Amino acid sequence: MAHPTEHVVVHAPALDGSRRVTLGDEPLGIATHVDDVAEILRLADLYVTDVEDNDLVEWQGGGPDDWPGLSEHHGT
């Protein structure tokens, strides 16, 4: 059983717009898009179907659409 205090944190964007993804104190990877977060979690055997709206995932410093500096325009 997973530790109840462990959850995934998508940290505030860095200066380049990328975001660190951690589980507890463990780094899982660096994301540059919301799809990267889903892939990082899949590789960590955490199959989250909706990373944008899930109690396991905490978004800090902005939500899943907040990737400043990486792309001014997403999917038009």
Backbone angles phi, psi at 36, to 5 degrees: -65, -40
Do the bridges between strand 8-10 and strand 57-59 make them parallel or antiparallel, or are there none, so unpaired? parallel
Give me 58's structure tokens.
């905490």
> At residue 53, what is the residue type?
D
Q: Say whether pTM exceeds 0.95.
A: no
| pLDDT confidence band for 70 (50 / 70 / 90) | low
Do the bridges between strand 8-10 and strand 19-23 make them parallel or antiparallel, or are there none, so unpaired? antiparallel
How many whole angstroms separate alpha carbon 45 and alpha carbon 64? 20
Tens-place pLDDT, residues 31-51: 999 999 999 999 999 888 889
| pLDDT above 90: residue 20 | yes
Residue 6 CA to its chain's centroid (Å) = 14
